[in-house]
């Protein structure tokens, strides 16, 4: 009888402990949370990309009642400014979370080169057809397998060409131009095929190089051009060619993700999705409205803006097509075929 009473008492104690655990407020469950989580960003909050990080951090703080606090580290300062090392550092836990560029992470995840295939995505509807559809889901599956938790898409934007020398209307106009690029072999191949001299350097190093004339030009979204005031460092000629766009990915380190309660994970995911939508709207502002007011603003700064005719753009497509064909199997033929099909079927 005594043994039975002891067993019943033990069972009751276990049940009570379980009930108390389940009934604990999230703040008590989260006692092992870090006091602060480190978010890596390439640029600061003056840019849409950095603004997306700020929005995400604010939403997470609100949705978790302050249990998850995020500090932004722009300039990829957690890894000494080397943006191509960001993904590896995230996977290793040096970084807790990030909004990362598909270009910067492509050396570690080759399928991300999809978005850098020259002239794959002709318009914003094409970007959306990829990121918001089956292709985007497949990329997330690949990223998860690579060791991070992808949550939402953002956008850096179409990367347009600028330089300090002359207007560029044809591949011949690019001959010998020293163009700053990120550390991607696909970018090196593309700009070499166009006759330029691609020069790999971080964004932090690039701006002084423009000012000194050591580098002639660069390619980046228009929001980067205006926020960085590139017209003040000699970038007086702009060519709208829309050769690639740069989707961004909101991700969390897997160990950090697994340390949170299910409710907080869902809160962080929803915050990322909401922040991603807001960030994309900011990134496209001035480019999707009638008359493209952002370009008007840039012209007002004394910049010569060149809009390619369909025939002029086709000349660039033709020159870079062998690079597209070379990289297609490296990215993954099935993935590229899926992307091409999704773009062909998009609603314009």
Say which CATH number the domain at 270 has. Answer: 3.40.190.170
Please, what is the angle between helix 124-131 and helix 134-145, to 10°?
A: 50
Q: Extract the residue ranges of the chain whose pLDDT is less than 50.
A: 1-2, 4, 7-24, 26-28
* Residues 332, 299 within the same domain: yes
* Residues 259, 331 within the same domain: no
Each residue's pLDDT tens digit, 281-305: 999 999 999 999 999 999 999 999 9
Q: What is the CA radius of gyration of the chain?
A: 24
| CA pair distance 95, 78, nearest whole angstrom | 7
* Residues 78, 173 within the same domain: no
* Residues 39, 80 within the same domain: yes
Domain of residue 167, residue span: 160-244+288-344
Which of 64, 173, 252, 43 is CA-nearest to residue 54?
43
Residue 281 — φ and ψ, nearest 5°? -60, -40
* Residues 222, 330 within the same domain: yes
* Residues 165, 214 within the same domain: yes
* pLDDT score recorded for residue 76: 85
What residues have CB less than 8 Å from 205, skipping those under 6 apart? 81
| CA pair distance 162, 213, nearest whole angstrom | 13
| CA pair distance 241, 244, nearest whole angstrom | 9
Each residue's pLDDT tens digit, 43-70: 999 999 999 999 999 999 999 999 999 9
pTM of this prediction?
0.87
In a domain, 216, yes or no: yes
* pLDDT score recorded for residue 30: 54
Mean pLDDT for the chain overall: 91
| CA pair distance 28, 26, nearest whole angstrom | 5
Residue 218: beta bridge partners? 162, 180
What residues have CB less than 8 Å from 60, skipping those under 6 apart? 68, 70, 267, 268, 271
Residue 163: beta bridge partners? 217, 237
| CA pair distance 179, 199, nearest whole angstrom | 6
How many domains is the chain partitioned into structurally? 2
Each residue's pLDDT tens digit, 219-257: 999 988 998 899 999 999 999 999 999 999 999 999 999
* Residues 240, 251 within the same domain: no
Each residue's pLDDT tens digit, 259-269: 999 999 999 99
In a domain, 101, yes or no: yes
* Residues 189, 308 within the same domain: yes
């Amino acid at each position: 009888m005594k043994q039975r009473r002891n067993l019943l008492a033990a069972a009751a104690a276990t049940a009570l402990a379980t009930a108390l655990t389940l009934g604990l407020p999230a703040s008590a469950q989260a006692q092992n949370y870090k006091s602060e989580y480190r978010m890596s960003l390439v640029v600061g909050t003056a840019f849409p990309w950095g603004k997306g990080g700020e929005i995400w951090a604010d939403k997470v703080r609100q949705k978790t009642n302050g249990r998850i606090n995020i500090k932004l580290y722009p300039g990829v300062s957690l890894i000494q400014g080397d943006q191509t090392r960001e993904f590896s550092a995230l996977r290793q836990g040096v970084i807790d979370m990030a909004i990362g560029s598909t270009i910067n992470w492509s050396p570690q995840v080759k399928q991300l080169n999809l978005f850098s295939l020259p002239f794959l995505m002709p318009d914003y509807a094409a970007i959306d057809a990829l990121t918001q559809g089956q292709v985007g889901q497949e990329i997330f599956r690949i990223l998860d397998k690579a060791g991070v938790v992808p949550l939402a898409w953002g956008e850096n934007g179409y990367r347009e060409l600028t330089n300090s020398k002359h207007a560029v209307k044809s591949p011949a106009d690019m001959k010998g131009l020293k163009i700053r690029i990120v550390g991607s072999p696909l970018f090196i191949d593309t700009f070499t095929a166009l006759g330029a001299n691609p020069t790999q350097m971080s964004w932090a190093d690039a701006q002084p190089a423009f000012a000194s004339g050591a580098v002639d030009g660069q390619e980046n979204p228009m929001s980067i051009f205006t926020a960085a005031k590139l017209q003040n460092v000699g970038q007086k000629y702009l060519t709208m060619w829309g050769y690639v766009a740069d989707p961004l990915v909101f991700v969390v380190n897997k160990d950090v993700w697994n340390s949170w309660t299910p409710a907080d994970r869902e809160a962080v995911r929803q915050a990322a999705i909401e922040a991603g939508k807001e960030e994309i709207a900011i990134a496209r502002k001035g480019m999707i409205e009638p008359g493209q007011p952002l370009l008007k603003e840039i012209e007002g700064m004394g910049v010569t803006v060149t809009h390619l005719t369909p025939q002029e753009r086709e000349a660039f497509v033709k020159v870079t097509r062998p690079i597209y064909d070379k990289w297609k199997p490296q990215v993954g033929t099935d993935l590229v075929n899926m992307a091409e099909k999704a773009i062909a079927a998009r609603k314009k």
